Amino acid sequence: MSARNSNEELARTYGTPLYVYDLSRVRAARRDLFRWLPEGVEVYYAFKANPHPDLVRALREGPGPGCRAEISSTGELATALEAGHTGEEILYTGPGKTPGELREAVRGGLRRFSAESLSDLEHIGAAAVAEGVVVDCLLRINSATASAASGVRMTGKASQFGIDSETVGDVAAALRNVPGTSVAGLHLFSQSNAADEEALIGEFRHTIETATRLQEELRVPLRMLDIGGGFTAPYGRVGDRAAYPKLAGELSAELDLRLPGWREGRPRIAVESGRYLVGDSGTLVTSVSNVKESRGRKFVILDGGINVFGGMSGLGRLLPVSVQVDTGEPTEQASLVGPLCTPGDVLGRDVTVPALAPGDLVQIPNTGAYGPSASLQSFLGRPSPVEVVIDDDGSGDGSKVVVSVSRIERSRTYTERGAAA
């Protein structure tokens, strides 16, 4: 049975909008990424891309090296623990860690955090002291310069992320002496979705050079260096994940030059990835609710829009959303829009599509990342999408079996007017 027919059968069984995630694609992406990297480099999976526990397990478990967990909330922490991660496999990042969240994380066994500022480090230390432990912290650095101008820039401007590289020396002594913390290394994440392999390599080289310079300036032992990511994969469009055949050799050479003990784990080297690892595992299946024309333009109205996919486009990170369909032979142009009462509910303007009619299915490829958990699910109270996880059935002929079926539940409790507090 073809993948397309499989998805159509699943849509008939579970309805739409429907996400289908293929675990064999998740494992393939994990194998590829480790193959492109030098041996011994650790990979942290960014849960924000897709926190589905089945995908997290597939990335963590063998055969071969597995991914560690990079989280930014106690909700993601719960998922990580449910999927089998231990505290030592988890890195807690993000600029908005609250005292309660930090206490919960430390109680849950986490011993590695990324600190975005001196005050953030102090908050982490306070939680550790309250629990009677000392935690390792990476200082996240907002580098003043960058190598490549491609991709989504994460440094070089005023930001809630990271300590400005040009001023970090001014607070070096304070950073080294926060009770409850031990500065274990540095965390630099300069870009997302690099344009090509040369841009990615150039950025990693710049990151490693910056880290070695800051290590001397801060006078801290560099036990771990997280050099971020930038690995590229298509989002909602036909295409393949990028290949990086030169990366292992170029990155190894730069590390040998700047940090000659890295092959023995001095320091441990880590990268982060989200979309690259899970993006091509997912297909979004929607149904056509209506087709209309307005002033010479055709609009195909789907039962799922930015409430199930592309909600993060409003943040600018993934703008613009412009999907491509993997359904039939394209014959005309139409705008694919969702069911929400806002003109912003657009998945693609003037997209080339086959002739579509109410009841037809539209399949959007490469939607395994930044799907339901990154969308406007509560807006207008539309039904959440069903998420179906499939995997090879072991026959060797490409047939699939359903592993799990779930739906993100939305809940809201209203307090009656005049009710006792």
Contact 338, 304 (CB under 8 A): yes
- The distance in angstroms from the start CA to the end CA of the chain is 57
Averaged pLDDT for residues 53-72: 95
What's the rounded Cα separation, in Å, for the pair 353 and 365? 14
Contact 106, 167 (CB under 8 A): no
What is the structure's pLDDT at 3? 58
Say yes or no to pLDDT of 316 above 50.
Answer: no
Q: How far is CA 319 from CA 71, 159, 234, 348, 374, in A?
A: 23, 19, 13, 11, 13
What is the structure's pLDDT at 421? 46
Averaged pLDDT for residues 376-390: 90
Main-chain phi, psi angles of 214, to 5 degrees: -70, -30
What is the structure's pLDDT at 1? 44
What's the rounded Cα separation, in Å, for the pair 185 and 354? 53
Say yes or no to pLDDT of 60 above 50.
Answer: yes
Say yes or no to pLDDT of 318 above 50.
Answer: no
Domain 280-407: which CATH class?
A: mainly beta
Averaged pLDDT for residues 29-35: 98
What's the rounded Cα separation, in Å, for the pair 220 and 76? 30
What's the rounded Cα separation, in Å, for the pair 274 and 369? 7
Winning range, highest mean pLDDT, from 113-127, 149-163, 317-331: 113-127
What is the structure's pLDDT at 195? 85
Using pLDDT thresholds of 50, 70 and 90, give the confidence band for residue 219.
Answer: confident
Tokens found for residue 75:
């909700």
Rounded to the nearest integer, the mean pLDDT of the chain is 89
Averaged pLDDT for residues 203-219: 92
- Which residues is 142 bridged to in the sheet? 164
pLDDT in tens, 132-157: 999 999 999 987 665 554 444 455 45
Query: Which residues fall within 8 angstroms of residue 378, CB to CB, at 6 or more apart?
Result: 410, 412
What is the structure's pLDDT at 325? 84
What's the rounded Cα separation, in Å, for the pair 169 and 179? 19
What is the structure's pLDDT at 334? 93
What's the rounded Cα separation, in Å, for the pair 226 and 4? 39
Contact 146, 186 (CB under 8 A): no
pLDDT in tens, 326-346: 777 888 999 999 999 988 899
- In the chain, where are the structural domains located? 37-273, 280-407
Degrees to nearest 5, angle at CA 231 with 321 and 62: 115
Using pLDDT thresholds of 50, 70 and 90, give the confidence band for residue 69.
Answer: very high
Averaged pLDDT for residues 373-382: 86
What's the rounded Cα separation, in Å, for the pair 358 and 322? 21
Query: Which residues fall within 8 angstroms of residue 300, CB to CB, at 6 or more apart?
Result: 288, 291, 334, 335, 336, 337, 353, 356, 362
Q: What's the predicted TM-score (pTM) here?
A: 0.91
Which has the higher per-residue pLDDT, 416 or 90? Answer: 90
Using pLDDT thresholds of 50, 70 and 90, give the confidence band for residue 38.
Answer: very high
What is the structure's pLDDT at 317? 47
Closest of 366, 338, 69, 52 to residue 193, by C-alpha: 366
Using pLDDT thresholds of 50, 70 and 90, give the confidence band for residue 289.
Answer: very high
102-111, 209-218, 261-270: least confident range: 209-218
What's the rounded Cα separation, in Å, for the pair 234 and 223? 34
What is the structure's pLDDT at 200? 95
Q: How far is CA 339 from CA 23, 43, 89, 186, 381, in A?
A: 30, 38, 41, 45, 11
18-32, 33-47, 202-216: least confident range: 202-216
- Does domain 37-273 fall under CATH 3.20.20.10? My reply is yes
What's the rounded Cα separation, in Å, for the pair 55 and 60? 9
Which has the higher per-residue pLDDT, 151 or 185? Answer: 185
Contact 271, 226 (CB under 8 A): yes
Using pLDDT thresholds of 50, 70 and 90, give the confidence band for residue 245.
Answer: very high
Amino acid code (one letter) for 18 = L
Percentage of residues of the chain with pLDDT beyond 90: 71
Percentage of residues of the chain with pLDDT beyond 70: 89
